Every structure is written in C-alpha cells, then in structure tokens.
C-alpha cells in the first residue's frame, strides 16, 4: 500500500486485518513526507470517517498512538457528546479529524469544521456506512473537500453502491485486497449451528453460555428491543452481562465496553452496532440469537472472535421455524454446517461438578493461612468431614446459573435440502466438524431429504394451508411479483407455493402444509423495507378466481416484461435507510 502513496486507493479489507495502521501509515506519508514533525496548520489536513462511535473512538486511539512522536493532533468527533465541546476543540487546532458522518456534517454546516485544507480523506467501513443510510452525508463531506486530495476507501465488500461512490469521488484509484479471500476468511473460527424448539431460544442461549466455561462472549440481537429482553433474562439468571445498542447513551455504551475489557462482566449483548470496530480483546465466542440479515453481516459479526491468531467459536441458535432461512444464510456465506443439539441440563451439571473438583484439588495444593487452618480444625472437630465438604460444594455449585430443560428436536427429519449442507458440490465451510467439547452437542449430519424434481416441474402438491397478504388489485398486485415477495418473506421456494388468487384488497395463496409452520414464523417478522405489508393465515376459503378473472400457478411461467408498476401503497424493497446513528 505504501508503494503507491500518491494514488487514491479502493481497498477490500476484512474485519481485524490491521487496516487502521495501514491507512494511518499512508496518511502519515501524505502529511509528513520526509519530515519527522508536522507543522501546525489552522485547519485539519486529514479526515477519517467511520460508521459508528465505537469504531471512530478506536481509530482515534490507534492514530493518536501512531502519530504520538510527530506532533500531529488527532481528535475524535462523534454523536452523543456536546457539540459545543467539539467546536472548541476545532478552534484550538486539529490536524487529523476522526468522526462519524452525522456529527461531521453537523460541524461543517455550523462552520465549525473547515475542510478546505484537507490532503487526504479516509472512508473506513464504507459499505457499512452506506448500509446505515449515510450516503447523503458522505457525499456532502466529499463535495466540500478539496478536489486535489487523496481519497482512500476501505470496505469489507465491494457492492455496486461502493463502486459507484468510488467512481464518482476517486481518481485513477488503485484497487487492493487486504487479507484472505471470502472462502478462507477467519480460519481460526469454528462455526456451530444449534437447533432448538420454537420459543426456547433464550433457554438454549443459557445452556450454550453455561457450557462455554465462563469464556468472554458477544451475543448478537437484531433489534434494540431484543437486546433489552435478552440482557434482562441473562441478568435474572445470574449472568454477569452488559448491553450495548444504538439507542443507549454514549456514556452507557462506554461503561459497558469498559466493564467487559476489565473482566467485571463476561457477556456483552449487542445489536450490529458492535459488529464493527469494537476494541474488545479475547472474545472467545460469538452467539447469534437472532440470525444476521445477510452473509456480509454474518462475516462482520463473527469477525469479533478469532482475532490476532487466536481461536474462536461462532454459534448460531436457530428455532425450528427459522431453519430454512438459516440454511439459506449458511449457503450464502459458504458454510456447510451440520445441525447439532443444544447442550442439555445434565451435561452442564456434569461439567460444573468436574470444574469444581479441579478447582478444589488445585487450591488444596497451595498454602493456606494460619487463620484458615485454625477455622478448618474447629469445623472438623465438631462435625462430620464428608458432610461438611458436601455442604460447601453444594453451596458453591448453586452460585452458577443452572441449565435449562429443552424440548428434544429431531435434527435429521426428512425435508427438502437447502443451503450448502444439501447442495451437491457446495464449498465446505470452516467448522463442518465441531471440536470444542465445552459446546459439543450430539453431532448430526443433515438428511438428504426430498430432492426437488428437475426441469422446473413439481410433484403433486398435496395438502396446503391458505395464507393472505394485504396487497390486492387496488394496489395493482400481480402474481408474478407477489410470488417472489411471498418466497422472500417466508424463506421458501416457489415449489412450495400453490394457487394465487388476487381480490380487491388482498391476495390469497396456498403454501404446502409441510412448510406452513416455518413459513408462518418467518413471514411474521416485519420487513424493514416494507413494514406495512403483512402476511397471515387466512380464515376464508380460496376464491374460485382472481379479481381480474385470472388464475395463476407458478409453473405456468407468467410473463413479466409488461408487468405494471405496483400501486404507491406498496414499495418494492429498497435499501433500508435507518435513523442516523452517528
């Protein structure tokens, strides 16, 4: 990277690859040249933009260390703090600005931050910033920066949106790849997929955490509400846990992270805000109690463990109703994982007894104080030694949270195969065989299941369950775009969809009875891209024909070239743009 310091760079870089030091060295070469000290200037000369407050804080610390002998002033500016303090810091003088997009734009609009003398701009985790809806803010910052500047973009992935941004704001950019290919990412991480009954994921989480032998762990949830619920449930059961999510005050988030670093808590429950840039060492295990939204999110979440050459474990806890969706996700991420049982209550109790035995035997080899020896003699003089030891051991065992009782799950039930585990010639993932005895359940290979018939034709459909979606003819509903909507929301294929009937205000459709339960559970989750679209079981009968006097079956091969645009009340899925979190 240093061999081309005068060119713009577009770098594909995975989490934990040391890119902060890499782009810090490029910034140093750009600002210092051959000089050892940086001369003071009235306005900043380097700008580093990061998606989250935590990542910005980490980058600021690393750059401050890297430039400690150069005289460069490195300051961070993020949301959740008093903006007046930021304005004062800028007045005192800053050479390298590190911040989140929202706060940086606010400072520019208040004319507190002057970017007219920038020599280099760095976009760290650019794909994450676009996913979080910061494109408009990024473009504002890039437009006010000098045209003659160096622009460095770092992104875990390079989707079309990133390439478009690079083409618009970079000149003759050199494209580099930092780290390994996607197939070899995080080779030090072992992946485990646990299947549990619907409604038992918290109990499964408790057992997984108990079998981890008190290792430091990150538990990922999809929403802030789930973080609060899971955190509360863990605290109630006696775990030392902290929580972090986008709606919590920055001071609260900082305290949670510091408690984890110092070992006062062993568990951190978090939303995806923690998937990027958290400076937390020695995370032994990542647990997905809510599935990631896509393979990219899975990569960033799991990248919080197995860092710096250390081993890590990446655990998925999946309810039966989400099994198909999980298998699709594993396929996208090129993971071939067998489903395994969640550790049971009995194995946890056995592990506790063994651990306590080892701790007691180890402690007995050391010296004890005179006071303790005297107390021991007094107790043994007036009581039965085995009974006394047993009482002490029982009291010690009750200090640990007990295991939960779980419903047995059939891991090898016959079903159509999905994902890499059931696809011929699929690439093998890391951790198809799980070797950690502290989490090992009853290993199971995915069943071959029913093989779909070739040529796009289905076998006899059999029993069905009728569902309905709240989009109809008044919304210009057409079967050829209702069908993919249904498949996406329910994590099924078109082979499991029967007849579709469109009426004025709804669309009815049949789902194969074997897939109905899983479809219902998956479709019940709100889609952030179309939250007003609801799917539910129907209590009515399937209409004889559609509102437009047509019937439709997926095998008929409907044409799509002249499909009218849906009514404005339904918006086709678009990139989700959440509330600014910077």
Summarize pLDDT for 241-256 with one digit per residue, the tens: 999 876 677 778 788 8
**CB 73 within 8 Å of CB 93:** yes
Above 90 in pLDDT, residue 466? yes
DSSP code of residue 182: G
Identify whether 129 is part of a domain: yes
- Residues 468 and 361 both lie in one domain: no
Confidence band, pLDDT 50/70/90 cuts, at residue 476: confident
| Structure tokens, 75 | 């300051």
Rounded to whole angstroms, how far apart are CA atoms 573 and 296? 18
Distance, first Cα to last Cα, the chain? 29
Q: 36: closest CA among 2, 71, 66? A: 71
DSSP 485-551: HHHHHHT--GGGEEEEEE-SS-EEEEEEHHHHHHHHHHHTSPPTTSTT--EEE-SSPPPSS-TTS--
pLDDT on residue 308? 64
The arithmetic mean of pLDDT across residues 548-560, rounded, is 43
pLDDT on residue 461? 61
Sort strands 74-77 and 96-99 into parallel, antiparallel or unpaired. Answer: parallel
Above 90 in pLDDT, residue 1? no
Q: Which domain holds residue 47?
A: 9-179
Rounded to whole angstroms, how far apart are CA atoms 417 and 323? 11
Above 60 in pLDDT, residue 558? no
Q: 570: closest CA among 472, 501, 489, 504? A: 472
More confident site: 352 or 66? 66
Identify whether 574 is part of a domain: no
Query: What would the pLDDT profile of 375-409 be if each residue is shown by its tens digit?
Result: 878 787 777 778 777 778 777 777 777 788 888 88
More confident site: 280 or 40? 40
Identify whether 452 is part of a domain: no
Above 50 in pLDDT, residue 149? yes
- Residues 199 and 322 both lie in one domain: yes
3-state DSSP percent of the chain in helix, strand and coil, to 5: 35, 15, 50
Q: 100: closest CA among 64, 49, 149? A: 49
Give the CA angle between residues 90, 51, 488 to the nearest 5°. 160
pLDDT on residue 413? 52
Q: How many CB atoms lie within 10 A of CB 530?
A: 16
Query: What would the pLDDT profile of 155-174 be if each residue is shown by its tens digit?
Result: 877 878 888 899 999 988 88
pLDDT on residue 318? 94
**How many structural domains compose the chain?**
4
pLDDT on residue 83? 92
| Structure tokens, 505 | 């205000």
pLDDT on residue 378? 78
SS3 sequence of 309-376: CCCEEEEEEEEHHHHHHHHHHHHHCCCCCCEECCCCHHHHHHHHHHHHHHHHHHHHCCCCCHHHHHHH
More confident site: 109 or 359? 109
pLDDT on residue 235? 93
Read off the CATH number of the domain in which 529 is found.
Answer: 3.30.70.330
Q: Which residues, in sequence order, are bridge partners of residue 372?
A: none
Looking up tokens 């005179």 gives: 370
pLDDT on residue 293? 81
How many residues in total does the chain contain? 582
Identify whether 365 is part of a domain: yes
SS3 at position 285: strand
For the chain, the average pLDDT equals: 78
Above 70 in pLDDT, residue 8? yes
Above 60 in pLDDT, residue 419? no
Read off the CATH number of the domain in which 225 is found.
Answer: 3.40.50.300
Rounded to whole angstroms, how far apart are CA atoms 201 and 237? 15
Rounded to whole angstroms, how far apart are CA atoms 96 and 374? 63
Identify whether 444 is part of a domain: no
Rounded to whole angstroms, how far apart are CA atoms 224 and 269? 10
Identify whether 385 is part of a domain: yes
The arithmetic mean of pLDDT across residues 115-126, rounded, is 93
- Residues 163 and 217 both lie in one domain: no
- Residues 68 and 95 both lie in one domain: yes
Identify whether 17 is part of a domain: yes
Give the CA angle between residues 112, 115, 119 to the nearest 5°. 150
Identify whether 43 is part of a domain: yes
| Structure tokens, 215 | 């290792």
pLDDT on residue 448? 32
Looking up tokens 């007003």 gives: 532
- Residues 331 and 379 both lie in one domain: no
SS3 at position 98: strand
The arithmetic mean of pLDDT across residues 465-479, rounded, is 90
| Structure tokens, 347 | 């194995």
- Residues 153 and 83 both lie in one domain: yes
Which of 126, 149, 179 delimits the end of a domain? 179
- Residues 22 and 78 both lie in one domain: yes
Looking up tokens 């899971």 gives: 230
Q: Write down the pTM of the prediction.
A: 0.55
The arithmetic mean of pLDDT across residues 301-312, rounded, is 78
More confident site: 411 or 121? 121
Query: What would the pLDDT profile of 327-363 be if each residue is shown by its tens digit?
Result: 988 988 888 899 999 999 888 888 878 877 887 777 7
Residue 543 CB contacts under 8 Å (≥ 6 apart), including other chains: 501, 503, 508
- Residues 225 and 332 both lie in one domain: yes
More confident site: 545 or 42? 42
pLDDT on residue 454? 35
Sort strands 267-270 and 217-220 into parallel, antiparallel or unpaired. Answer: parallel
- Residues 106 and 230 both lie in one domain: no
Q: 154: closest CA among 339, 288, 302, 20? A: 20
Confidence band, pLDDT 50/70/90 cuts, at residue 73: very high
More confident site: 250 or 520? 520
- Residues 157 and 222 both lie in one domain: no
- Residues 334 and 375 both lie in one domain: no
Which of 157, 179, 201 delimits the end of a domain? 179
Which of 131, 151, 179 delimits the end of a domain? 179
- Residues 23 and 124 both lie in one domain: yes
């Amino acid at each position: 990277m240093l061999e081309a310091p005068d060119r713009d760079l577009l770098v594909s870089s995975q989490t934990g690859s040391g890119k902060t030091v890499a782009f810090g060295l490029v910034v140093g070469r750009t600002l210092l040249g051959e000089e050892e000290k940086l001369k003071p200037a009235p306005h900043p000369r380097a700008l580093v933009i990061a998606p989250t407050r935590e990542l910005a804080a980490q980058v600021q610390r690393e750059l401050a260390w890297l430039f400690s002998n150069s005289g460069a002033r490195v300051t961070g500016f993020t949301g959740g703090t008093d903006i007046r303090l930021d304005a004062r810091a800028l007045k005192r003088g800053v050479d390298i600005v590190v911040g989140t997009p929202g706060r940086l734009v606010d400072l520019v609009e208040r004319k507190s931050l002057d970017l007219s003398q920038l020599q280099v701009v760095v976009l760290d985790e650019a794909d994450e910033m676009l996913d979080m809806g910061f494109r408009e803010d990024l473009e504002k910052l890039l437009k006010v920066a000098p045209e003659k500047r160096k622009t460095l973009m770092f992104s875990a992935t390079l989707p079309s949106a990133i390439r478009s941004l690079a083409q618009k704001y970079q000149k003759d950019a050199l494209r580099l790849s930092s780290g390994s290919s996607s197939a070899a990412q995080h080779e030090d991480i072992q992946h485990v997929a646990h299947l549990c009954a619907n409604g038992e994921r918290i109990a499964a989480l408790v057992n997984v955490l108990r079998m981890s032998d008190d290792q430091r762990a990150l538990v990922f949830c999809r929403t802030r509400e789930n973080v609060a619920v899971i955190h509360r449930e863990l605290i109630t059961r006696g775990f030392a846990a902290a929580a972090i999510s986008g709606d919590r005050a920055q001071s609260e988030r900082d305290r949670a992270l510091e408690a984890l670093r110092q070992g006062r808590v062993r568990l951190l429950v978090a939303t995806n805000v923690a998937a990027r840039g958290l400076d937390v060492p020695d995370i032994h295990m990542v647990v997905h109690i809510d599935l990631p939204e896509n393979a990219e999110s899975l990569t960033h979440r799991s990248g919080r463990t197995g860092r710096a050459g250390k081993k890590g474990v990446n655990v998925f806890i999946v309810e039966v109703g989400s099994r198909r969706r999980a298998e699709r996700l594993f396929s996208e991420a090129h993971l071939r994982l067998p489903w395994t049982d969640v550790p049971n209550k009995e194995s946890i109790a056995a592990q506790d007894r063994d651990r306590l035995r080892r701790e007691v035997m180890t402690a007995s080899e050391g010296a004890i104080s005179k006071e303790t020896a005297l107390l021991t003699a007094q107790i043994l003089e007036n009581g039965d030694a085995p009974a006394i030891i047993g009482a002490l051991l029982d009291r010690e065992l009750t200090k640990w949270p007990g295991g939960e009782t779980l419903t047995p799950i059939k891991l090898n039930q016959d079903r159509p195969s999905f994902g890499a585990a059931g696809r011929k010639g699929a690439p093998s993932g890391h951790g198809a065989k799980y070797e950690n005895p502290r989490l090992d359940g009853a290993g199971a290979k995915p069943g071959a299941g029913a093989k779909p018939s070739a040529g796009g034709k289905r076998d006899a459909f059999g029993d069905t369950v009728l569902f309905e979606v709240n989009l109809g003819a008044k919304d210009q509903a057409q079967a050829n775009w209702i069908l993919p909507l249904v498949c996406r929301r329910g994590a099924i294929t078109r082979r499991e969809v029967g007849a579709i009937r469109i009426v004025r205000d709804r669309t009815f459709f049949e789902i194969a009875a074997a897939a109905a339960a899983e479809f219902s559970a998956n479709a019940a989750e709100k889609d952030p891209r179309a939250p007003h679209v609801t799917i539910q079981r129907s209590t009515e009968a399937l209409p004889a024909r559609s509102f437009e006097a047509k019937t439709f079956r997926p095998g008929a091969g409907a044409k799509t070239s002249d499909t009218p645009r849906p009514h404005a009340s339904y918006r086709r899925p678009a990139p989700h743009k959440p509330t600014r979190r910077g």
